[in-house]
Structure formats: structure tokens, C-alpha cells
Amino acid sequence: MSELSFEQMLEESLKTIRTGEIVTGKVIDVKEDEIVLNIGYKSDGIIPRNEYTDDQNFDLRTVVQVGEEMEAKVIKVNDGEGQVALSYKRLAADRGNKKLEEAFENHEVLTAKVAQVLDGGLSVVVEGARVFIPASLVSDSYEKDLSKYADKEIEFVITEFNPRRRRIIGDRKQLMVAKRAELQKELFAKIHAGDVVEGTIKNVTDFGAFIDLGGADGLLHISEMSWGRVESPKKAFKAGEKLSVLIKDINGDKIALSLKFPETNPWRDASEKYAVGNVVIGRVARMTDFGAFVELEPGVDALLHVSQISREHVEKPSDVLAIGQEIEARVVDFNEDDRKISLSIKALQIQDEEDSPVYSDEV
């Protein structure tokens, strides 16, 4: 039996490794851009910076120290310089993929930080494995700008898992839809018409504003925004603004809201303030050929008929009046049931003439 040489005995005492294998080694040297491991093989293992992280400015000395043990994946048994090429990043990604596969099969809810905001959605990293969440699956409502999610932790589920095609899809929307359905059920169980609730303006349109009540949206129609006239909801309200609103009506899953609270109704004491004979001051709000509508206060308009504008003949109101002009007139009719008030400047002029002293020429 021939004796083995020292080199042969040494080589046989060392383990064999294969590409794709996971090895454990001790850090014997660490530089800014590479880690050197003693992996119990005839050659040392090298982890370059790009196989540890995607950050090309990352200093490996800040995370690894000589003497520490760490695991890595074998990329090449011989990197061309007699050393073993290793990857920590690919090992982490493999383990991350395994976790994602389990999460996909078990419908598990995952939490991860958004690593990148892309044109078409968000990229998150779970233990080194990347998940793409398309823009359409980020929220239960359309969001044009996804930049607010940068570096934020979000919850999602895996709806497609195909690592060979590098296609791992996450979905945040279905979680939000499910949560909103639960909140909606709770909300409808406790609200009633006539309640005053807190809400946040979600969206403003030309015809009104949608208010998030915490589980369901309610519509604040333009006609319910004020006792007075609101010309443009977009000028009066902004998304994100908080409001106390009155629930006017609930019809199925539709909630009608109002800011016209009964206690602020200007018609409550209108019969006293605008009784026939009272002299009032208002501003011309709009005009037609037959007269001008005068706002006495927000929510209370009165008609000044063209025949009551002056003792002189007036062809049309715009000949002598202007929008926004302040006028003084006498109330000549008040109908509380129909909420109609009629004014007359002419009546004031007649009264003034009657009250003026008459001077005689007689001595």
C-alpha cells in the first residue's frame, strides 16, 4: 500500500463543494468592497460587494467583522483566480423566495418596506427577494402619485409566485377592500339619519364632495354645502380637510350628507326679521328680465320685481342695478311656507315722499 503525499492527505481532509451549495465560513478578512471567508476548502471564499447588496456605495466593514461566521451560496467553485465565488445576496433571495412561496400557498399577510417606487407600481423586498405590486393593486382607489409610499412599510399578500420567470406579484388592494368592508359593516350598524359625524374629504367634484366616514363614503351635494349659494365646491373645500357633517339620509349603501344644520337654519326667525313692512338691506345676487334676487343673508333670498325697483319706469333690472350692489328695500310680502319674500324700493320712495314736509308758498 503506497503512502499518500502530505498534499493528498490534506486535500482528502478538506470537504468538497458544488455550485449552488450553501456553505458556512469564518470571516478572515473584510474590505470595503469584499469579504473573505475560510470555508474549510482548499481555497478561500470571496463575497464581492455586488453579491452582498445592490448598493454600490455600501461599506462592508460596517456590517461584518473578522472572526464572525456567516453563510453564503457558492456561485463558482473556481472564480478564475483559484478562489471560490460566493454570494450572500442570492442566499438571502433564495430564503426570501421560500418565505414568499409559503406565504403564497398559505395566503399569509406580509409586511415589508417599499424599496423602490416605479412607474407602474411599487417594489418591496422580503428577506432579499423582490416583490412587485402593480399600481392597480396598491390601493382600493386610483392613485396617480405613488411617491408617498417610498420607504414606508406596507401590508400585502402574494397573488402570483413564479420565481423562474422573476414574476412575484403582491396585492395590497384586496386587504384594503376587505378591511373597508368590515369597517363599512360596523359603520352602518351605528349611524342613523340625523346623526352628526366626523369625516375627511376624499374627493371634490363640480357637483359635490365625497366624505370618508371611516368605512364608507358619503356625498355632500353642492346644494347641501351651505344655507347660501355655493358656486364652486372646488373653491370651498379641499381633499384631506376634516368636517363635521349631518347625515341627511341613508339609502342602501348610499349616504347623503349635509352642512345645513337645523340650528343654523336662517329661516328659523325669518318671520320676525323679514315681516311685512320691515326695511331690510341686502345685496343683488342675480338678475332676470322680470326682477332681481337679493340675498338678505346666506340662505335667504328675496325677489325685487322690476316694477318695484323705482317709481320711474325700469325696462330691465340690469339698467339700474349691478350684481353685488347693496340695496335698501321694504318687505311687501312674506310667505314662510314657500320661503318667498318680496321687496320693494318703490314703496320706500313713496313713503319718503309722504314723510317729507310740505312747504306752502302762502304767507
Residue range 62-118, pLDDT digits in tens:
999 999 999 999 999 887 778 899 999 888 888 888 889 999 999 999 999 999 999
Mean pLDDT of the chain: 89
**112 and 58 housed in the same domain:** no
Contact (Cβ atoms closer than 8 angstroms) between residue 40 and residue 25: yes
Output the pLDDT for position 215: 86
**What 3-state DSSP class applies to 330?**
strand
Q: Residue 355's pLDDT band (boundaries 50, 70, 90)?
A: low
DSSP single-letter state for residue 337: T
Mention every residue, 6+ apart, whose C-beta is less than 8 A from residue 196.
Answer: 244, 245, 246, 247, 261
Per-residue pLDDT tens digits for 202-211: 999 999 999 9
Residue ranges making up the domain that contains 149: 107-175
User: CB–CB of 322/287 below 8 Å?
Assistant: no
pLDDT, tens only, 20-38: 899 999 999 999 999 999 9
Residue 349, pLDDT score: 87
Instruction: State the pLDDT at residue 92.
Output: 85
Q: What is the pLDDT of residue 1?
A: 40
Answer yes or no: is 73 within a domain. Answer: yes
Closest CA to 220 of 208, 230, 236: 208
Instruction: Indicate if the pLDDT at residue 252 is higher than 80.
Output: yes
Residue 213 in this model has a pLDDT that exceeds 80:
yes
Q: Among 216, 233, 263, where does a domain finish?
A: 263
What is the per-residue pLDDT across 261-313, written as a single tens digit (0 to 9) for each? 999 899 988 999 999 999 999 999 999 999 999 999 988 999 999 999 999 99
Instruction: Give how far Cα 281 sits from Cα of 15, 311, 325, 330, Å.
Output: 101, 19, 10, 9
Q: What is the pLDDT of residue 361?
A: 53
Residue 359 banded pLDDT, cuts 50, 70, 90:
low
Q: Does pLDDT of 2 surpass 50?
A: no
- In this structure, the chain runs to a length of 363
Domain end (from 202, 236, 263): 263
The pLDDT assigned to 7 comes to 55
- On whether both 82 and 113 belong to a single domain, the answer is no
Read off the pTM.
0.60
CATH of the domain at 313: 2.40.50.140
Residue 6: is its pLDDT beyond 60? no
Integer angstrom CA distances of residue 74 from 45, 85, 86, 93, 166: 8, 6, 5, 14, 21
User: In the listed set 91, 119, 142, which residue is the last one of a domain according to the structure?
Assistant: 91
Residue 17 neighbours by CB distance under 10 Å? 18
Give the Cα separation of 112 and 98 in Å (integer).
16
Is 70 inside any structural domain? Answer: yes
Q: In this predicted model, which residue has the larger pLDDT, 97 or 154?
A: 154
Q: What are phi and psi of 141, to 5 degrees?
A: -140, 155
Contact between 208 and 266 under an 8 Å Cβ cutoff? The reply is no
In a domain, residue 170? The reply is yes
The verdict on residue 101 lying in a domain is no
Q: Does residue 363 form part of some domain?
A: no
Same-domain pairing of 68 and 126 = no
| 178 contact partners, CB below 8 Å, separation of at least 6 | none
pLDDT band at 363 (very low <50, low <70, confident <90, very high): very low
Alpha carbon separation from 353 to 12, 62, 263, 308, 349 (Å, rounded): 128, 96, 41, 16, 6
Q: Do 201 and 218 lie in a common domain?
A: yes
**Is 4 inside a domain boundary?**
no
Q: Are 148 and 137 in contact (CB under 8 A)?
A: no
Q: What's the pLDDT score for residue 320?
A: 93
Query: What's the confidence (pLDDT) of residue 198?
Result: 95
Q: Is residue 206 part of a domain?
A: yes
Name the helix (H) or strand (E) containing 354.
Answer: helix 345-355
Q: Which residues of 126-163 are buried (b: 16+ CB within 10 A; e: fewer)?
A: bebbbbbbbbebbebeeeeebeebeeeebebbbbebeb
Total count of domains within the chain: 4
Cell of 190: 351605528
14 assigned to some structural domain: no
Q: Which band of pLDDT confidence, cut at 50, 70 and 90, is reported for residue 11? A: low
Residues 348 and 274 in one domain: yes
What pLDDT, on a 0 to 100 scale, did the predictor assign at position 153? 94
Indicate whether 166 and 145 sit together in one domain.
yes
Give CA–CA dist 278/272, Å, rounded.
9
